[in-house]
Amino acid sequence: MEISKTFEPKDLEKKWYQFWEENGYFKPRENTAQKPFTVLMPPPNVTGILHIGHVLNNTLQDVVVRYHRMKGEPTLWLPGVDHAGIATQNMVEKELAKQGITRQELGREKMVEKIWQWKNEKGNIIIDQLKLLGASCDWDRLRFTMDEMLSRAVKEVFVALYEEGLIYKGKYIINWCPRCVTALANDEVEHTDENGHLWYIHYPFAEGDGYVTVATTRPETMLGDVAVAVNPKDERYSSLIGKELILPLTDRKIPLITDEYVDRDFGTGCVKVTPAHDPNDFEIGIRHNLPQILVMDETGIMNANAEKEFQGLDRYACREKVLKMLTEQGLLEKTEIHSYSVGHCYRCDTVIEPYLSDQWFVKMAPLAEKAIEVVENGEIKFQPERWTKVYMHWMNNIRDWCISRQIWWGHRIPVYYCDHCSYMIVAKEIPEKCPKCGGTKFTQDSDVLDTWFSSWLWPFSTMGWPDETADLKRYLPSNVLITAPEIIYLWVARMIMSTLHFVDKIPFDTVLLHGTVRDEIGRKMSKSLGNSPDPIDLINTVGADALRFSMIFGTPKGADVIFSESILETGRNFANKMWNAYRFIMMNAENIEGLPAENELQLELADKWIISRLQEVIIAVRAHYENLRFNDAATEIFKFMWDEFCSWYIELSKDRLNPSSALSSRLTAKYILLYVMQTGMRLLHPIMPFITEEIWQGIKKIFPMEEEALIIATFPETDETLIDNDIDNNMRFVQESITAIRNLRKQINLAPNQEIDIVIRFAENSQQELFENYMAYFNRLAKVKTLSGGVNIAIPKAAIASVVRNIEIFLPLSGLVDIESEKNRLGKQIEKLTKELSGIKAKLANPNFLNNAKEEVVAKEKEKFIEVNTKLELLQNLLSEL
């Protein structure tokens, strides 16, 4: 077989992905009664390209899918893409802006056509990239949230909820993005603590002298004030209740009222009430039957309800002018720096504006009841478990969901208004005639539904609901949902609610919430910070397997990931190690004709040990995969394949593979090498699918296996009868002793090929027998020419020693080094290190140095002291032994 010296992943990965896809291995086996295993892909945005967070999320999903597929379960990983209403429309609008065209000029119909055109041309980029990563989804089931099937489900749900009284329309304060010109749900607003200002403004009494002082962070909205409120228990203002005030910069009179909401300790205890521009003020206004004056338009520009001199100004320009005029009129008392939470649009980062408008809402509390119950009774489990409390807190305090968006791309709200009498009809399709007046012309509601409204139906809309499809019966509930904690409210909780309500099933039984990928200084990866590498560049550089392994290896369950390109070395080095081991095994195995049956094997200590250890590793790795502890699985496989199989077993097998060795020994070594290597590839396949398939297929040519591909090969089962603790103990004893001898060699700087004689004082005769039987191991790995000794022997003269368990290992120096010269050399080194240590001690004892030097300089000196002192003690011990 031609096996290249170096591992080149690019062509190999392309070859095997094409092979898997063409042979239909990503599809679940349908001709079985076995219970299926289903994973729903959190649909990436159609605007998306692969980023490092996608790499982590989709690799975790692929690992669990590939593992269950190898267990023989009919496994479905259902992929999809989200239409991402606001983001996609924004992207196309930016493209049009380059041509000097606005969406308003283009018109709704043409604009939607443009977006569909963009989607069809560029919307599957991330899908192609996921394939490069190795995602083994059933691509024939690829869903898009605006596919006809999913759109039908959206209409069905909207109408059903409306008829149940769970969807309603009303004028409410909502979060509004002036940039995207649309409403946002509470969970779509990202809050950051920012330093702003608190302005103290005088509101004069309408009659007589005096004023009250109001503190506000948004002076531009005072133009829509309809009252000033104080707490009814605030004695400072008890005599002023009911008085009228003059709203500064206007000639309007507003009342001074009381309301329990007011915090007596904030500012002056007086708050302005602006019902159309603040959610809390909106509630106060309802309680006191106050008017609602909207002073901005949908883009944040002051409208006709603002005073004439402010009309047409941007909200921030208006703020500056308001402050300037207040100062000129002596009504601005003072300004303070004030830190407070500011809401930003999750799409474009614009500061959101609380805004009064007509919107559609879903009543969430009735839907939350069952969704709380299934988590409380353990039907759905969150991992790590700490996220259960987060989920329960949100569900127990749930608020109605604003589902209407004032954009054009998305599912248009299935509500129609009669052109003749304005009667409103909620229906899945346009009505034939108005039930009130008989009219036949209708205008559909101009708003579209929140993108999450289609996504919350994902578990069942993707499977053909409302029809009773075969997929719906077979694959729902799904099993593990793997996603990020930041969408636990936006998506996870809502899917649980909708699936329980419409299908009367849980959508999944386990939710694995993984951490965030951060850079070396703890910042979240983002394009704006410039700290997020392009995964495709990484795949082109090190290969998908190396990237996948590095991400899994460095990601404890539920913890954040600290990513730097240096961690990719772990994956790349491991891939190279596996490739080199494979190449060595195949090159030698091909030269040994035949393959023994299991009962013909002539097993020695190392053979029995590696087989025993492999069984223990299978148990551990299975448990880690089952418990979604993928980094523990990666660590277990890494340590076994690198440290035990490659570093010990393969090294020990080299002498046995020589033509001069007995044929039975050669055949046994060949069999064990191939058996362990192919089993190791089965264990590793879910994490590193490409290289493992290549190696496994190569081994299959000389080590017959029934399966046609590793992707559908059986995951290893454990044979516990092969686990032998005594064998394991004996082998570890030999290994520890060989390691001790290697260290003795290093102490006197022996050349690697220099053979040595070793004397051992054993504690038991059985130990001596073990070492003598496997003298070849000591010769191979520690260049031991002779190994002598016994129980209670005298200590050899002029020797250095090491203790392993209850035996003493001596390396006689006669003939290896000139004892006197070595003593002199060591003495000079000790003298030099003693002086160096003395200087470091003096520096660390000097108060001037400790008080004036930089903290890192002092720390470096302390580290140096430990290092030099350790070297000195080792050399002194060595001299003492000489």
Give residue 528's pLDDT.
66
Query: How many Cβ atoms from other residues are within 10 Å of residue 36's Cβ?
Result: 19
Give residue 532's pLDDT.
83
Is the pLDDT at 120 greater than 80? The verdict is yes
Give residue 251's pLDDT.
86
Share of the chain above pLDDT 90, in %: 77
The beta-strand segments (E) located in 792-878 are 799-804, 807-812
With cut-offs at 50, 70 and 90, classify the pLDDT of residue 336: very high
Determine if the peptide bond prior to 659 is cis (ω within 30°): no
**Mean pLDDT across 486-497:** 94
> Which residue from 192, 230, 529 is spatially nearest to 339, judged by alpha carbons?
192
How far, in Å, CA of 711 to CA of 69, rounded? 8
User: Which residues are annotated as part of the binding site for ATP?
Assistant: 527
Give residue 48's pLDDT.
83
Most confident by average pLDDT, 7-11, 169-173, 532-536, 668-672: 668-672
> Helix, strand, coil % (nearest 5) of the chain?
50, 20, 35
How far, in Å, CA of 246 to CA of 265, rounded? 24
pLDDT single digits (tens) 651-699: 999 999 999 999 999 999 999 999 999 999 999 999 999 999 999 999 9
Identify the burial level of 445 via C-beta atoms within 10 angstroms of its C-beta, where 0-12 means exposed, 13-18 middle and 19 or more buried: middle
Determine if the peptide bond prior to 466 is cis (ω within 30°): yes
Is the pLDDT at 569 greater than 80? The verdict is yes
Cβ pair 266, 301 in contact under 8 A: no
> Which residue from 194, 519, 443 is spatially nearest to 341, judged by alpha carbons?
194
Distances (CA, A) of 204 to 4, 218, 219, 251: 87, 19, 16, 11
Determine the length of the chain.
882
Is the pLDDT at 296 greater than 70? The verdict is yes
For residue 798, what is the DSSP state? S
Both tokens of 781, joined, read 């790995």
User: Which residues are annotated as part of the binding site?
Assistant: 527
pLDDT single digits (tens) 726-782: 999 999 999 999 999 999 999 888 999 999 999 999 999 999 999 999 999 999 999
Is the pLDDT at 799 greater than 70? The verdict is yes
pLDDT single digits (tens) 226-284: 999 999 999 999 999 999 999 999 989 999 999 999 999 999 999 999 999 998 999 99
**Mean pLDDT across 28-42:** 91
- Average pLDDT taken over every residue of the chain: 93
Cβ pair 469, 28 in contact under 8 A: no
Give residue 391's pLDDT.
97
Q: What is the CA radius of gyration of the chain?
A: 37
CA count, 13 A, side-chain hemisphere, 705: 22
Strands 332-345 and 404-405 turn out to be unpaired
With cut-offs at 50, 70 and 90, classify the pLDDT of residue 786: very high
How far, in Å, CA of 444 to CA of 447, rounded? 9
Is the pLDDT at 855 greater than 90? The verdict is no
How far, in Å, CA of 575 to CA of 554, rounded? 16
Q: Write phi, then psi, for 319 (nearest 5 degrees).
A: -55, -45
> Which residue from 80, 70, 85 is spatially nearest to 29, judged by alpha carbons?
70
Q: Give the rounded distance of the alpha carbon of 638 from its chain centre.
A: 22
Choice among 148-152, 182-186, 415-419, 431-435 with the minimum mean pLDDT: 182-186
The partner residues of 173 in beta bridges, in order of sequence, read 356
Cβ pair 776, 669 in contact under 8 A: no
Both tokens of 139, joined, read 């691509």
How far, in Å, CA of 199 to CA of 334, rounded? 6
With cut-offs at 50, 70 and 90, classify the pLDDT of residue 141: very high
- What type of residue is 151? S
For the full predicted model, state whether its pTM sits above 0.75: yes
Q: Write phi, then psi, for 451 (nearest 5 degrees).
A: -50, -40
Which helix (H) or strand (E) element contains residue 875? Answer: helix 855-881
Give residue 591's pLDDT.
87
Give residue 187's pLDDT.
66
Query: How many Cβ atoms from other residues are within 10 Å of residue 156's Cβ?
Result: 17
pLDDT single digits (tens) 211-227: 999 999 999 999 999 99
**Mean pLDDT across 287-312:** 94
> Which residue from 219, 392, 183, 443 is spatially nearest to 318, judged by alpha carbons?
219
With cut-offs at 50, 70 and 90, classify the pLDDT of residue 822: confident
Output the CA torsion sign for 68, 69, 73, 78. Answer: positive
Identify the burial level of 690 via C-beta atoms within 10 angstroms of its C-beta, where 0-12 means exposed, 13-18 middle and 19 or more buried: buried
